[in-house]
Structure 1
Amino acid sequence: MAGVIFDLDGVLADSEQLWDRIRREVTTGSGGHWAEGATEAMIGMSTPEWSRYLVEELGADLTPEQAADTVIDRMAERYATDPPVLPHAEEAVRAVAADYPTAIASSAPPRIILAFLEITGLVDVVRGTVSSEQVGAGKPAPDVYLEAARRIGVPAAECAAVEDSANGIRAAAAAGATVFAIPNPHFPPAQDALDRSHRVLGEVREVPDAVRALAAS
């Protein structure tokens, strides 16, 4: 193993339910409806994908660009006032990055990834960041993991990936990475996705020891 790639939402930030709540509010507040299964459908989607979904599938009376801007602005406000950083996230990233080139591969837009890095002081620690809106397709497609691995100069097959969602696990596994799953308590991943992980962990502070054990195996 030669590199480590973290997801952001649900792994380093307790934010999946915030994205969900804000998308619901924007959708219903602009004349749309919230359909059963919409939450699960959008987990892992890139910004262009989920903003189109709000408009085309849920009926938000906005353009996809307006939907994206409104949701992201509200999320950025939350990061500015009460950032949803998970306990031990900063320490876990620092511990791993001391030994391996480290990246973030996220469905969050670049603006939110940067906000997280600035709040935690990890801007100079994380070597590469990739938003799925910067690649061909969102998770479960492997694109974001393949690009994150490229940016840290390590083949994806030689990386460990840390994920919380079903589509995230599928994306990392499809890229060839060895996946550590930290199941999201708000939106638990499906068993078939968990079956593709190397090991299931309870929380992010377990990651450094899990990575060391993988490297020693």
Structure 2
Amino acid sequence: MFTPSSYKETDLSQLHQQIEQTRLAVLVTQGEQGLQASHLPLLLDRSQGSNGTLYGHFARANRQWQALENGAEALVVFAGPDAYVSAGYYPSKLEDPRTVPTWNYMAVHAWGKAQVYHDAEHLLDIVRRLSDHHEQRQAAPWSVDEAPADYMAGMLKAIVGFALPIERLQGTRKLSQNRSAIDIEGVRKSLSNSTDPLDNQLAAQMRPL
């Protein structure tokens, strides 16, 4: 990921926070079947490894898991909020029209090689942890224990789990840092006043003057 130095995010806690806030990641591998990508909900365990470990699962019919099992390195993309930035958002444009639109965004890339799981014990643990993490937001949280044991056993046979220790992390926070303070504030206010909630999310990442 091309990242100018002014946009680099190196704080591990901030990188972890964005990983945790990304509801659906993109896992990319290169294997015998060429480049493959899957959209997956992943769980980050910050305590495992120097950069944390990602847990998730594939449908068994999705053969991308074979690339991981064969030792392929995975790239996992966590896309954060993004927004179109019109040149008209810059107050300085009134004095100097030499400016163009751009796009602000946040993203984290993680690399690593995974351990693949087929056994019911590991698979149930991954499913339980994922569902517990997302169900905590529900008024009446569901638990895997509510499903009949024989039904869960059958469902587990249809998936392949993995644990991916993060070997390398790269983060980008492109939030108009290359502009003057007055232009940064102009962008933040314009995005805050937008009717697009995605614009509002990006604006919330920009600190007001």
- Bin of the TM-score, shorter chain as denominator length: under 0.3
TM-score with structure 1 setting the length: 0.23
Bigger share in strand: 2
Q: Compare CA radii of gyration and give the structure with the larger one.
A: 2
Q: Structure 2-normalised TM-score?
A: 0.24
Greater helix share, structure number: 1
